[in-house]
Amino acid sequence: MAVGELFLSAFLQVLFDRLASPDVLRFASQEGVRSKLQKWEEKLKMIQAVLNDAEEKQLTDRAVKIWLDDLRDLAYDVEDMLDEFATEALGRKLKAEHHESSSSSKVRNLIIPAYVKIIQSPSAVKFDFTMRSKIKGITSRLEVICKQRVELGLQVVCGGTSSLGWQRPPSTCLPPEPVVYGREEDKRKILEMVLRDEPRDVNYSVIPIVGMGGIGKTTLAQLVYNDREVEQFKPRAWVCVSDDFDVLRITKAILESTTLSSCDLKDLNQVQVQLNEELVGKKFLIVLDDVWSKNYSLWDILKRPFLAGAPGSKIIVTTRSVDVALTIGPVKYYPLELLSNDDCWSVFMKHAFEGRNIEACQISELIREKVVEKCKGLPLAARTLGGLLRCKHRDEEWEDVLNSKIWDLSEDSDILPVLRLSYHHLPSHLKRCFAYCSIFPKDYQLEEKEVVLLWMAEGLVEQSIDNKQMEDLG
């Protein structure tokens, strides 16, 4: 889904805030259009009431998708109109203040503001004409949107959904939890491959772990990377590669991980020479997580410093693609399979009921079957769904999530339905902040202070009732 659509449900709340602005209301009263703005607000609230239903139905209903597109465009036009109100109001206020300050007569001080208000400049008259024309157009479009919501059968529902184009966050070498279910045998086999010394033409060997998104490739690599048996590898390095196979960036990340210090070099040759010196004669272990590129030329450049390592050095690669595995590794690769139903249920239970009495929850067998069916053997889905349901205590809340139409989306999508649902259950104010982060490129390292200030500048962080500082709220 486009960012504009993702932002829509939260953006309407921004419009309500703008419509309630004292400056906008004061200007609207002076121009005699306050009743029009009140009508806008009423219509937008009627639309907002069915927006949650629309955001879910648009995933399978083309007509609802078009309706949301039209609503999004209209919402942006309303915001532009309110910006024009605010700008014109400020301009007239400054002009009136200028006339008042330039007058030395008390009588003129009383007369001029009224004169400025009644006898407007040609530009103000032109603005009034244009403004009223735009207001009429927006009002007409709102009427059509409201009428269409009835024709489309949109209803008031609790919560909300949206199909967020999920971007995988960067990984680290630290395991996510002390207990990982269903991967004991996989870990044993990968460890065996890592510790096995085989005669090769080069001093290192590549171990690709291949599997679909959310199956647990990164978690398995973390388990192996942190096992005591691999402490014999020195140095060790972990790099999240992602879809941008930037040789300089990856080489620098490996170098910084091995030296535990930052590298300010910007020339690839210098960085590779330094990494070569760090690896020479050493038995290293490097993890390249989430690799997407099948460009052999890039891999051929990246691997050159690895030739300096001691025999038995290993490189673990995690990827969704068999082609990637065959490009940068041997003919054989390790295919990671789905979790069993029991292991998938164990992952879900850990995240849904951590630290609580499971017996007291009285979970029905039907619920268990639905959870296992929805997760489809993916630990990421089980973990996310467990985290989503851990704060929901009523049976009908669980049923609402498990019966959502989002689960029926095409399996060809890279977006796990459970991740769509997790966005669906965010509070409105958090949706706004979350959606804003989508403007950053994938794997961009967000600085907390920077993001908070950007949120504040966009009006996404509002003053709370208990008068906390906006920076703290952000």
Question: Distance between CA 54 and CA 48 in Å, rounded?
Answer: 10
CB–CB of 36/133 below 8 Å? no
Break the chain into its structural domains and give their ranges: 3-151, 184-335, 338-411
| 434 CB-side CA count, 13 A | 20
Q: DSSP character for 338? A: P
Closest to 84 (Cα-Cα) out of 23, 11, 7: 23
Domains 184-335 and 338-411 share a fold: no
Question: Distance between CA 173 and CA 289 in Å, rounded?
Answer: 10
What are the angstrom distances between the C-alpha of 281 and each of 61, 193, 277?
A: 61, 21, 9
State both tokens at 413. Answer: 């999508």
Closest to 289 (Cα-Cα) out of 191, 223, 218: 218
What is the full DSSP assignment across 341-401? HHHHHHHHHHHHSTTS-HHHH---HHHHHHHHHHHTT-HHHHHHHHHHHTT--SHHHHHHH
What lies within 8 Å, CB to CB, of 212 at 6+ separation is 320, 378
Largest CA distance in the chain: 102
313-319/236-242 β-pairing:
unpaired
Residue 335: per-residue pLDDT = 94
State both tokens at 5. Answer: 């659509």
Closest to 6 (Cα-Cα) out of 213, 240, 162, 214: 162
State both tokens at 392. Answer: 């929901």
Question: Distance between CA 20 and CA 14 in Å, rounded?
Answer: 10
Q: DSSP character for 465? A: T
The C-alpha torsion from 215 through 221 and 222 to 225, rounded to 10°, is 170
3-state secondary structure 415-440: CCHHHHHHHHCCCHHHHHHHHHHHHC
- Look up the CATH number of domain 184-335: 3.40.50.300
CB burial of 376-403 (b: ≥16 within 10 Å; e: otherwise) equals bbbbbbbbbbbebbeeeeeeeebeebbe
Closest to 376 (Cα-Cα) out of 408, 339, 404: 339
Hey, what amino acid is at 184? Answer: E
Residue 396: per-residue pLDDT = 61
C-alpha angle 422/428/433, rounded to 5°?
Answer: 85
> What does pTM read for this prediction?
0.54
Question: Distance between CA 423 and CA 468 in Å, rounded?
Answer: 26
Q: What is the CB neighbour count within 10 angstroms for residue 35?
A: 10
State both tokens at 54. Answer: 């629309």
- Look up the CATH number of domain 338-411: 1.10.8
> Burial level of 184, CB count in 10 A (0-12/13-18/19+)?
exposed
Q: What is the CB neighbour count within 10 angstroms for residue 307?
A: 13
> Burial level of 313, CB count in 10 A (0-12/13-18/19+)?
buried
| 130 CB-side CA count, 13 A | 10
The C-alpha torsion from 132 through 137 and 142 to 145, rounded to 10°, is 180
Closest to 335 (Cα-Cα) out of 217, 196, 241: 217
CB–CB of 461/455 below 8 Å? yes
Residue 180: per-residue pLDDT = 82
Q: What is the CB neighbour count within 10 angstroms for residue 22?
A: 7
Hey, what amino acid is at 331? Answer: V
Residue 67: per-residue pLDDT = 84
**Average pLDDT, 10 consecutive residues per value, the chain (474 residues):** 49 72 76 79 81 71 82 83 78 71 52 45 61 84 86 66 45 73 92 86 90 88 93 92 88 92 90 94 94 91 93 93 88 89 87 67 72 82 78 63 54 49 62 75 80 81 64 80
3-state class of 148 per DSSP? helix
